[in-house]
């Protein structure tokens, strides 16, 4: 397609803009039609917004999508992925047209929904509505923290903005309420959400279920709220974003009124445009509306390609300017530069774990949440970019970084994050922080990890090293009763690929667990910690807690081949140990295995696994105060599980534990039963 540029300049000033906008639209439409799958409606309506952002507003370098001071854009409405891929391609990211032509095909850099680490320019994985905007809050928190920490007077090396493009669905999701409320409270003026208000979602018009007054809602969160009446009015879109940029006190929501499926004669403003290709005939009609050659596929008019391609030269210059600022800053601030490099490269500072305590043997012991607090603080002292907090359970979760201030509006250097009672929001925000380079942790009760599960799953998909401090990890919570007593949570977290669930048995295992969490580059870690005190085992008598690094290890052995193996995790290792003693008194040889982390154990060699759980020893008992489902994997069909197959009850912890069979006698009985089964004498 050829456009007379002179004509363009002399005629409507926006003709070239229009050409670019329609290029974004038609690329998206064609990719979706070719894949015979996808969501064309939002890219068609939002193309002008994407165009204004990437062409006139954002500071980025397509050639280096990891440039530290780039503006971030999160496409929270991940189903509109083709919008993002089209603009990334056109602005010169390493995303060739051949990848767009393979949209939604196996191995393509253009997967169905944007995926972190697959596509250059994609800042986070989105698709589950609402998660992206919560991530953007985490990114904005990180920018503020980095700016407070690293900018020195007029030497500003951190000053990026965070944008999110979101939709009706994002706004309906609960997580949007939590994360927006916190962003408003924290006065994150570096955060700008562009809300695609097109009044249509999957099932039909949003009026079916949604009549929020979004403007009032966000004003209530102390946001700056602006409105653009027509997404196609590029000047208004630009003016609104520029107004948002000059806001210094509040995050900004720009409500952009748009039309889903804009330009499609039969699907414009209809949910039919939302989630399926337009169809061959409708594509033609739509292209005719745009003044596009009807049969052209993946057409990028030269003028549009050239114009949007200028982003490469622009980006190179922006980054080069920043590099000279950064170099000047680095000369003046060598110590800070070391920290900066550590954050940007993911390298831990030397000596980060030098103060991690070794806990002396103590029969009374301490709760692993308490040990976790001590260990986390010993690490925080030497790892300045460890940052985190709790969803209003700090005194219970023991997550306070001592001697540090809170991250607060206007005082952004603090490392103590206060999420309020917002577990969902916390989950999404932690992902945004981790994706921005800081080491982030967040705490709540294990039972409420369910509230965070959507975000946890995304952390696992993205392989972000977030640390979850989930305390009160069993029915030993006691008095608060079944609503607060996790039963299925620990096991269900183990089900998520990439997650490392660690349930340490004592203070020294907790120390190793925290170290592993901090060393992790690609795995989120769940630390399942007790409310109640557990003995600190005598490591001169039993195996070193470093065994935790292998997931499971022989904690206390017997001479010769054991008659039975007792596997304990967390607070139940002590039951296994006491049972070992009782069984020994009856002449039964029991090996005790501590198994704090299934996932790590699975990563070990077959030889190692065999050395811990020899296949010849089939009498086995697993003891864990959680659902027994799954333990068959390690105890086999002849083994037994002392687990919790039902909800707990309210009462003092020791009574609850006893009531549900977490007693030495019960473990001993199960061990004997398993031995009998193996001998062919008992019931499986």
Ligand X SMILES: Cc1ncc(C[n+]2csc(CCOP(=O)(O)OP(=O)(O)O)c2C)c(N)n1
Helix axes 573-585, 664-678, angle to 10 degrees: 70
Minimum distance between the CB of residue 267 and ligand X, rounded to whole angstroms? 12
Query: Which 171-190 positions form the footprint of ligand X (CB under 6 A)?
Result: 173
Decide if residue 301 touches ligand X (CB under 6 A): no
DSSP letter string, 148-166: HHH-BTTB------EEEEE
Closest CA to 95 of 107, 105, 83, 85: 85
Between 204 and 357, CB nearer to ligand X: 204
Minimum distance between the CB of residue 380 and ligand X, rounded to whole angstroms? 34
Minimum distance between the CB of residue 135 and ligand X, rounded to whole angstroms? 14
Those residues whose C-beta lies under 8 Å from the C-beta of residue 136, and which sit 6 or more positions away, are 72, 74, 76, 162, 163, 164, 191, 193, 432
Between 130 and 315, CB nearer to ligand X: 130
Query: Which 421-460 positions form the footprint of ligand X (CB under 6 A)?
Result: none
DSSP letter string, 31-48: HHHHHT-S--HHHHHHHH
Closest CA to 635 of 576, 574, 582, 556: 576
Which range binds ligand X by CB under 6 A, 166-174, 351-359, 570-578, 610-618? 166-174
Between 101 and 276, CB nearer to ligand X: 276
Look-up of token digits 């085992």: 537
Decide if residue 278 touches ligand X (CB under 6 A): no
Rg (CA), the chain: 28
Decide if residue 41 touches ligand X (CB under 6 A): yes
Nearest-angstrom CA–CA distance, 557 and 590: 7
Residues 627-640 as b or e (16 or more Cβ within 10 Å = b): bbebbeebbbebbb
**94-101 long-range contacts, Cβ below 8 Å, gap at least 24?**
94/62, 94/63, 94/65, 94/120, 95/119, 95/120, 95/121, 97/298, 97/300, 100/27, 100/31, 100/298, 101/31, 101/34, 101/298
Which of the 8 DSSP states describes residue 76?
S
Decide if residue 114 touches ligand X (CB under 6 A): no
Tokens of 517: 């969490």
Nearest-angstrom CA–CA distance, 478 and 533: 13
Minimum distance between the CB of residue 150 and ligand X, rounded to whole angstroms? 35
Closest CA to 509 of 461, 555, 464, 460: 555
Decide if residue 43 touches ligand X (CB under 6 A): no
Minimum distance between the CB of residue 254 and ligand X, rounded to whole angstroms? 16
Minimum distance between the CB of residue 333 and ligand X, rounded to whole angstroms? 43
Between 79 and 422, CB nearer to ligand X: 79
Decide if residue 82 touches ligand X (CB under 6 A): no
The residue annotated as part of the active site, out of 99, 303, 423, 485, is 423
Which range binds ligand X by CB under 6 A, 75-83, 337-345, 346-354, 498-506? 75-83
Minimum distance between the CB of residue 114 and ligand X, rounded to whole angstroms? 12
Minimum distance between the CB of residue 28 and ligand X, rounded to whole angstroms? 12
User: At CA 364, angle to CA 358 and CA 368, rounded to 5?
Assistant: 55
Count of residues of this chain found to bind ligand X when the rule CB under 6 A is applied: 20
Between 260 and 475, CB nearer to ligand X: 260
Between 77 and 90, CB nearer to ligand X: 77
Helix, strand, coil distribution of the chain in percent, nearest 5: 45, 15, 40
Q: To which H or E segment does residue 475 belong? A: none
Has 408 been annotated as catalytic? Answer: no
Decide if residue 129 touches ligand X (CB under 6 A): yes
Q: What is the pattern of x (binds ligand X, CB under 6 A) and - over residues 192-221? A: ----x-x-xxx-------------------
Nearest-angstrom CA–CA distance, 454 and 178: 14
Decide if residue 475 touches ligand X (CB under 6 A): no
Alpha helices in 616-663 (DSSP H): 632-635, 653-659
Decide if residue 461 touches ligand X (CB under 6 A): no
Tokens of 510: 């907790």
Between 80 and 90, CB nearer to ligand X: 80
Between 112 and 342, CB nearer to ligand X: 112
Decide if residue 77 touches ligand X (CB under 6 A): yes
Count of other CB atoms within 10 angstroms of residue 546: 14
Between 215 and 355, CB nearer to ligand X: 215
In the bound complex, which residue of the shown chain has the CB atom lying closest to ligand X? 169
Query: Which 306-345 positions form the footprint of ligand X (CB under 6 A)?
Result: none
Which range binds ligand X by CB under 6 A, 22-30, 39-47, 488-496, 523-531? 39-47
Q: What is the pattern of x (binds ligand X, CB under 6 A) and - over residues 256-275? A: ----x-------------x-
- Looking at the annotation, which residues are catalytic? 423
Task: Give the footprint of ligand X on this chain (CB under 6 A).
Answer: 39, 41-42, 77, 79-80, 127-129, 167-169, 173, 196, 198, 200-202, 260, 274
């Amino acid at each position: 397609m050829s456009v007379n540029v002179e004509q363009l300049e002399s005629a409507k000033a926006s003709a070239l803009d229009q050409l670019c906008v329609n290029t974004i639209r038609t690329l998206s439409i064609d990719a979706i039609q070719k894949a015979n799958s996808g969501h064309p409606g939002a890219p068609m309506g939002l193309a002008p917004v994407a165009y204004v952002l990437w062409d006139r507003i954002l500071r980025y370098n397509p050639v280096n999508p990891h440039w530290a001071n780039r503006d971030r854009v999160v496409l929270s409405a991940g189903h509109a992925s083709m919008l993002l891929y089209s603009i990334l391609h056109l602005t010169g990211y390493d995303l060739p047209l051949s990848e767009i032509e393979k949209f939604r095909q196996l191995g393509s850099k253009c997967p169905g929904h944007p995926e972190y680490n697959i596509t250059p320019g994609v800042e986070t994985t989105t698709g589950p509505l609402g998660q992206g905007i919560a991530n953007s809050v985490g990114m904005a928190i990180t920018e503020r923290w980095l700016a407070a920490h690293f900018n020195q007077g007029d030497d500003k090396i951190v000053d990026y903005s965070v944008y999110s493009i979101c939709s009706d669905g994002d706004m309906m999701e609960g997580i949007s309420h939590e994360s927006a409320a916190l962003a408003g409270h924290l006065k994150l003026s570096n955060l700008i959400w562009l809300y695609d208000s097109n009044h249509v979602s999957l099932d039909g018009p949003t009026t079916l279920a949604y009549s929020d007054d979004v403007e009032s809602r966000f004003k209530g969160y102390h946001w700056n709220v602006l409105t653009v009446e027509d997404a196609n009015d590029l000047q208004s879109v630009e003016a609104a974003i520029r107004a948002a940029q000059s806001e210094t006190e509040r995050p900004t929501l720009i409500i952009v009124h748009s039309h889903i499926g804009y330009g499609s004669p039969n699907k414009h403003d209809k949910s039919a445009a939302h989630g399926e290709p337009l169809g061959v005939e409708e594509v033609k009609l739509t292209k005719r509306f745009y003044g596009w050659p009807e049969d052209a596929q993946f057409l990028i008019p030269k003028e549009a390609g050239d114009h949007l391609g200028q982003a490469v030269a622009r980006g190179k210059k922006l980054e080069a300017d920043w590099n000279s600022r950064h170099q000047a800053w680095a000369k003046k601030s060598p110590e800070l530069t070391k920290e900066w490099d550590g954050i940007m490269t993911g390298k831990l500072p030397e000596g980060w774990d030098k103060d991690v305590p070794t806990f002396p043997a103590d029969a009374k012991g301490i709760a692993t949440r308490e040990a976790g607090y001590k260990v986390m603080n010993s690490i925080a002292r030497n790892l300045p970019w460890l940052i985190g907090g709790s969803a209003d359970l700090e005194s219970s979760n023991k997550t306070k970084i001592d001697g540090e201030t809170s991250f607060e509006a206007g005082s952004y250097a603090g490392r103590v994050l206060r999420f309020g009672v917002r577990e969902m929001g916390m989950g999404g925000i932690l992902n945004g922080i981790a994706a921005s380079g800081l080491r982030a942790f967040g705490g709540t009760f294990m039972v409420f990890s369910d509230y965070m599960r959507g975000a946890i799953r995304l952390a696992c998909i993205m392989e972000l090293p977030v640390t979850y401090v989930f305390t009160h990890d069993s029915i030993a919570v006691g008095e608060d009763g079944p609503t607060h007593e996790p039963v299925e949570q620990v096991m269900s977290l183990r089900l998520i690929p990439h997650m490392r669930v660690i349930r340490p048995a004592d203070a020294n295992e907790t120390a190793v667990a925290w170290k592993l969490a901090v060393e992790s580059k690609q795995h989120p870690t769940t630390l399942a910690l007790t409310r109640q005190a557990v003995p600190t085992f005598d490591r001169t008598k039993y195996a070193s807690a470093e065994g935790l690094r292998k997931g499971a290890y022989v904690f206390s052995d017997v001479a010769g081949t054991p008659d039975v193996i007792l596997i304990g995790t967390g607070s139940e290792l002590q039951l296994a140990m006491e049972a070992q003693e009782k069984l020994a008194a009856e002449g039964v040889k029991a090996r005790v295995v501590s198994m704090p982390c299934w996932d790590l154990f699975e990563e070990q060699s077959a030889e190692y696994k065999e050395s811990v759980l020899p296949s010849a020893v089939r009498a086995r008992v697993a003891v864990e105060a959680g659902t027994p489902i799954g333990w068959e994997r390690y105890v086999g069909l002849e083994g037994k599980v002392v687990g919790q197959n039902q909800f707990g009850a309210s009462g003092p912890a020791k009574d609850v534990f006893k009531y549900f069979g977490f007693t030495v006698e019960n473990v001993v009985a199960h061990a004997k039963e398993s031995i009998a089964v193996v001998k062919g004498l008992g019931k499986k």
